[in-house]
Amino acid sequence: MTGHLQSRDITIIGAGIAGLTVALALAQRGAQVTVLERAGAFREVGAGLQISPNAGRVLEALGLGPALDAVSVRSDGVVLHDRAGRQVARMPLAAHRPGAAFRMIHRARLVEVLERAARAAGVTVTLDREVAELPELPLLIGADGLHSRVRRALNGPETPFFTGQTAWRALIPDDPGTPDPYARLFMGPGRHLVSYPLGRGLRNIVAVVERPDWTAEGWSHQDDPAHLRAAFAGFGGKVPGWLARVEQTGIWGLFRHRVAPCWQDGRRVILGDAAHPTLPFMAQGAVMAIEDAWTLAACLDAIPDQAGALARYQALRVPRVTRVIEAANGNARNYHLTGPARLLGHAGLRGLSRLAPGLLMGRFDWIYDHDPLAVRP
Ligand SMILES: Cc1cc2nc3c(=O)[nH]c(=O)nc-3n(C[C@H](O)[C@H](O)[C@H](O)COP(=O)(O)OP(=O)(O)OC[C@H]3O[C@@H](n4cnc5c(N)ncnc54)[C@H](O)[C@@H]3O)c2cc1C
């Protein structure tokens, strides 16, 4: 039995990817949804996101497949390179699972598609509305990101720890011609760089280095592109050409956060980065937010008792997001191997990629083949 969302009033804090996706999912099931967002406008903020099929299934079920295809690039998979630019392994993830879409998209385009669909489904999105005090409401959803007030209200203050890694991100004009359908990852000692096309003539770059000095966490800090070029001066292949085109770059410190112990109290509930910020090494931050959104709406729709629905949502999501976050933490080490460990690691990957590509890619089946629509609330 579903239908328990009909005409329920629900307020969401935050119009990021988590907030807009859950707003749309709830409205499509009959709820009256209001989203409060502190930003005064949806601006061109952020850079690239990779949206793997596990989130793609949700977005397609919400009716967004064609709108997304119009503003994203389909990815064939990932190619790993060494620092000199030589190929170490190729993972044709899309060919491995026909029919499943891996998309590469600018964050602002995804937000735009979600916002348009949410408004069309009857959601009220109020901009320029910072929520300073949490209102007493029958149901309040905290989709308020990394520094979530709702998380703090449920869990008290917490201190994330700095991983010793800092990331730059930049958008550059893409190489001429048809966009290369692979995300490319270049690995060097203590650093790596990922780049992929976003369509509309843009290419995304994320470059991570281990450095002990601290950089603030957040998406709005700027740095001098010369620092990025200097950090990757020893890299070959396409990297020097790409970095020469960087005119502006953001920088952020990578912090590890605990998955929040408490996601809900029967009346307030969190999802996305508010519940479980992750390091970017599995490209699953936005993807987990989208999975959360579907599961939260499905639980509220299927389970008449709100406290029971919220508890079920947390129970369904914690094991999965914890496993994904641990996989991302592990990749932080794998990409940055030094000395003999690096030679061995790369030789192993080369061998696997040639002799048993299915085995290499099969390591990620549990992430990409997951179908949130098939999970029983
Ligand atoms: C400006 C920005 C740029 C980003 N750029 C990238 C990027 O380039 N690449 C990448 O991989 N990821 C990026 N991310 C992160 C990525 O979008 C998230 O990790 C992921 O999508 C999870 O989304 P979320 O909706 O849970 O959180 P977020 O995307 O952080 O959204 C939270 C929303 O809540 C709003 N909010 C917070 N507190 C309040 C409050 N008190 N009252 C009202 N509104 C509030 C924020 O303004 C924000 O819009 C960016 C996030 C932001 C906010």
Q: Is the CB of 375 under 6 A from ligand 1?
A: no
Instruction: Confirm if 290 and 21 have CB atoms less than 8 A apart.
Output: yes
pLDDT score at 349: 67
Q: Which CA distances in Å does 159 have to 213, 255, 309?
A: 17, 10, 29
Percent of the chain with pLDDT over 70: 93
Q: Is 143 exposed, middle or buried, given 0-12, 13-18 or 19+ CB atoms closer than 10 A?
A: buried
d(CA 33, CA 126): 11
Residue 142: which of 257, 306, 273 has the closest Cα? 273
Average pLDDT, stretch 184-189? 92
Q: Which CA distances in Å does 158 have to 104, 235, 255, 364?
A: 33, 38, 12, 31
Tokens of 273: 């980065």
pLDDT score at 204: 96
Q: Residues 347-359: pLDDT tens digits?
A: 666 766 666 666 6
Residue nearest to atom 30 of ligand 1 (CA): 145
Enumerate the H helices of 176-305 as residue ranges.
Answer: 225-231, 239-244, 285-302
Q: Is the CB of 131 under 6 A from ligand 1?
A: yes
Active-site residue (options: 182, 196, 313, 368): 196
Q: Is the CB of 272 under 6 A from ligand 1?
A: yes
Average pLDDT, stretch 138-142? 97
CB-based contacts of 281, cutoff 8 Å, min separation 6? 328, 329, 331, 332, 335
Q: Which atom of ligand 1 is nearest to the CA of 146?
A: 30
- 123 phi and psi, to 5 degrees? -75, 135
Q: What is the mean pLDDT of the chain?
A: 92
Residue 335 falls in the annotated catalytic set: no
CB-based contacts of 124, cutoff 8 Å, min separation 6? 33, 34, 35
Find residue 307's DSSP bridge partners.
none
Question: 312 CA distance to ligand 1 centroid (A)?
Answer: 25
Q: Using most ligand atoms within 8 A of CB, pick from 11, 36, 38, 292 the residue to mutate for ligand 1.
A: 38
Q: Residues 247-278: pLDDT tens digits?
A: 999 999 998 899 999 999 999 999 999 999 99
Length of the chain: 377
Q: Is the predicted pLDDT of residue 102 greater than 90, yes or no? A: yes
Q: Is the CB of 105 under 6 A from ligand 1?
A: no
Q: Using most ligand atoms within 8 A of CB, pick from 12, 49, 114 the residue to mutate for ligand 1.
A: 49
Question: 338 CA distance to ligand 1 centroid (A)?
Answer: 33
Residue 109: which of 215, 8, 198 has the closest Cα? 198
Question: 43 CA distance to ligand 1 centroid (A)?
Answer: 12
Q: Is the CB of 171 under 6 A from ligand 1?
A: no
CB-based contacts of 131, cutoff 8 Å, min separation 6? 13, 36, 38, 144, 149
Show the domains of the chain with their CATH numbers.
9-73+106-160+257-333 (3.50.50.60)
CB-based contacts of 146, cutoff 8 Å, min separation 6? 217, 218, 273, 274, 277
